[in-house]
Amino acid sequence: MNRIAHTTLLAAIVLGGIGLGMMLSFRMALADEMKMLSVDEMQAQIIGNSLSGKTEGGDAYVEHYEVNGTILGKSAAGAYQGKWSFRQDGLMCFKYGDGAFDGGCVHLMRAGDHVGFQRVDGSLEPQATLIPGMAPDLK
């Protein structure tokens, strides 16, 4: 490999590493800026609005949280419904069926229109984007 090609390759690797580092730093900074929501804050900021995101498996979804506890959702698999509720310990719970693993409860965090989900064990689920009112995809 000649000197110019070697230098160009080395520069590309360094710049790629810097870019990746900046992207990871931004994502970590955003997670650090997120504020844990109380039940009252979740009620005021989430209920009556929609969230759009991707599951851990990469499947896109959009959900609307109605005041009566109903979740109206849509994914690549089609339309679906579920139920939401709050626990007194500050968790928001989601139920999508009758099976033991068809739901769960998480702490919600927010920074701007980004909503984060933290499991009871402290691990994080993929973030979602808050959409005011009924998401257009659900109308």
4 with 59, same domain: the answer is: no
Write out the two tokens for 94. Answer: 């989601």
57 with 9, same domain: the answer is: no
- Residue 53 backbone class (left: φ over 0; alpha: ψ -120 to 50; beta: rest): beta
- CB proximity list for 49: less than 8 A, separation 6 or greater: 64, 65, 130, 131, 132, 133
Chain segment 1-38, per-residue pLDDT in tens? 555 544 444 444 544 444 444 444 444 444 558 999 99
28 with 50, same domain: the answer is: no
Domain hosting 128: range is: 36-138
21 with 66, same domain: the answer is: no
Q: From first to last of the 139 residues of the chain, give the pLDDT tens digit.
A: 555 544 444 444 544 444 444 444 444 444 558 999 999 999 999 999 999 999 999 999 999 999 999 999 999 999 999 999 999 999 999 999 988 779 999 999 999 999 999 999 999 999 999 999 999 999 9
Q: Report which of 116, 118, 112, 117 is spatially closest to residue 132, judged by C-alpha positions.
A: 112
21 with 71, same domain: the answer is: no
131: CATH: 2.40.128.640
| CA distance readout (Å), 38 to 65, 66, 86, 109, 124 | 17, 18, 10, 9, 17
133 with 76, same domain: the answer is: yes
